[in-house]
Amino acid sequence: MPVIELFEGIKILMFANDYNPPHFHVYYASFKAMVEISSLQIIRGELPNKQYHKVVEWAELRQQELLI
């Protein structure tokens, strides 16, 4: 899995040609989740609230880039 970001123990990965809807994968400790890029909602898995909000803040700044 290609890691595109790593911060505060949060690992964000994204696969080229992955299935729809466009999303990225997030790993934190024993948690894992898939986050839809357009809505920034978790579509599978779970994250602690604090880490989810950090991921959303990170993704909001890069949302258009992530959709390319």
| Structural domain contains residue 47 | yes
pLDDT digits (tens, 9 = 90+) for 12-54: 999 988 889 999 999 999 999 999 999 999 999 999 999 999 9
| CB contact at 8 A, 34 and 18 | no
- Tell which wins on pLDDT, 15 or 8: 8
| Structural domain contains residue 12 | no
Confidence tier at 1 by pLDDT (50, 70, 90): low
Instruction: Round to whole Å and give the CA distance between 3 and 25.
Output: 9
| Structural domain contains residue 50 | yes
| Structural domain contains residue 63 | yes
Residue 65: is its pLDDT beyond 80?
Answer: yes
35-45 burial code (b ≥16 CB/10 A, e <16): bbbeebebeee
Domain range enclosing 49: 40-68
| Structural domain contains residue 65 | yes
pTM over 0.85? The answer is yes
| CB contact at 8 A, 29 and 9 | yes
| Structural domain contains residue 22 | no
Q: How many domains does the chain have?
A: 1
| Structural domain contains residue 27 | no
| Structural domain contains residue 6 | no
